[in-house]
């Protein structure tokens, strides 16, 4: 419920013309045990969560709009996935550089930003917004965040060998949504 309230606040803030960047990011809280280690590498979290969900969120800004409730469901899940991805990558996994990266405050900030941007996408998705410009703004914020972090941290060769899946359909201009 708390999450919904935070999102509603963001939605109202953007309606009021505030810079969405000023909206507070919904914060993840560790419980007493905390989450100290992911069961996979950050490389895998990047490909399996962050990159996977980004594809759906970028699609709308490129004019590839959902056509039915199932498509919207994919977009909403992706927004949640991005919000969660930002929290997940604050924790090191099994990759060789994971501890070093997550110990860096700049990494933590960039990771938290993913959650904020994911929340902005969620607000658009929950209202089934077909405003391509608004989606493009969210997509632009997202790509800047990816690039900023990659410029600073990403090694030439993925540390755990996990590579991005095929994007052939997208590169051929075919919709990411169902046939
Ligand atoms: C907080 C830092 C950070 C952010 C933000 C971030 N990445 Fe990454 N990403 C990395 C690092 C570091 C690696 C390399 C991981 C490794 O090799 O262990 C990586 C690897 C990847 C990979 C796998 C390697 C490849 O080239 O196939 C993909 C795909 C990827 N990121 C996509 C994205 C996308 C899309 C976004 C934005 C939506 C994003 N990343 C945001 C740090 C980040």
User: What is residue 163's predicted lDDT score, i.e. its pLDDT?
Assistant: 82
Residue found under tokens 């990558």: 89
Residue located nearest, by CA, to atom 35 of ligand 1: 51
Residue 77 beta carbon below 6 angstroms from any ligand 1 atom: no
Q: What are the tokens at 150?
A: 């990659």
Q: Answer whether 41's CB lies under 8 Å from 98's CB.
A: yes
Query: In the chain, what percentage of residues exceed pLDDT 70?
Result: 79
Q: Answer whether 47's CB lies under 8 Å from 166's CB.
A: no
The alpha carbon of 97 is separated from its chain's Cα centroid by a whole number of angstroms, namely: 21
Query: Probe ligand 1: pick from 154, 161, 162, max atoms within 8 Å of CB?
Result: 154
pLDDT tens by residue, 84-137 = 999 999 999 999 999 999 999 999 999 999 999 999 999 999 999 999 999 999
The alpha carbon of 88 is separated from its chain's Cα centroid by a whole number of angstroms, namely: 11
- What distance in angstroms lies between residue 42's CA and the mean position of ligand 1's atoms? 8
Of 21-30, 31-40, 54-63, which range is least confident? 21-30
User: What is residue 65's predicted lDDT score, i.e. its pLDDT?
Assistant: 97
Vertex 39: Cα angle to 34 and 42 (nearest 5): 95
Q: Answer whether 71's CB lies under 8 Å from 49's CB.
A: no
Nearest Cα neighbor of 14 from 142, 149, 137 is 137
Residue found under tokens 């970028």: 58
Residue 148 beta carbon below 6 angstroms from any ligand 1 atom: no
User: What is residue 5's predicted lDDT score, i.e. its pLDDT?
Assistant: 45
User: What is residue 32's predicted lDDT score, i.e. its pLDDT?
Assistant: 62
Residue with more model confidence, 12 or 64: 64
| Cβ density class 119-158: b for 16+ within 10 Å, e for less | bbbbbbbbeebeeeebbebbbebbeebbeebeeeebeeeb
- What distance in angstroms lies between residue 12's CA and the mean position of ligand 1's atoms? 31
The span from the CA of 153 to the CA of 158, in Å, is 11
């Amino acid at each position: 419920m708390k999450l919904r309230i935070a999102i509603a606040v963001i939605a109202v803030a953007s309606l009021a013309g505030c810079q969405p960047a000023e909206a507070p990011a919904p914060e993840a809280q560790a419980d007493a045990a905390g989450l100290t280690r992911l069961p996979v590498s950050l490389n895998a979290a990047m490909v399996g969560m962050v990159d996977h969900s980004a594809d759906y969120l970028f699609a709308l800004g490129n004019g590839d709009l959902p056509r039915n409730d199932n498509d919207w469901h994919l977009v909403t899940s992706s927004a949640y996935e991005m919000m969660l991805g930002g929290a997940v990558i604050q924790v090191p996994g099994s990759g060789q550089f994971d501890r070093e990266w997550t110990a860096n405050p700049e990494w933590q900030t960039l990771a938290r930003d993913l959650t904020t941007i994911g929340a902005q996408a969620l607000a658009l998705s929950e209202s089934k917004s077909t405003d391509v410009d608004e989606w493009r703004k969210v997509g632009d914020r997202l790509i800047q965040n990816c690039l900023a972090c990659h410029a600073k941290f990403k090694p030439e060769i993925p540390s755990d060998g996990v590579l991005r899946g095929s994007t052939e359909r997208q590169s051929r201009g075919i919709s990411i949504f169902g046939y």
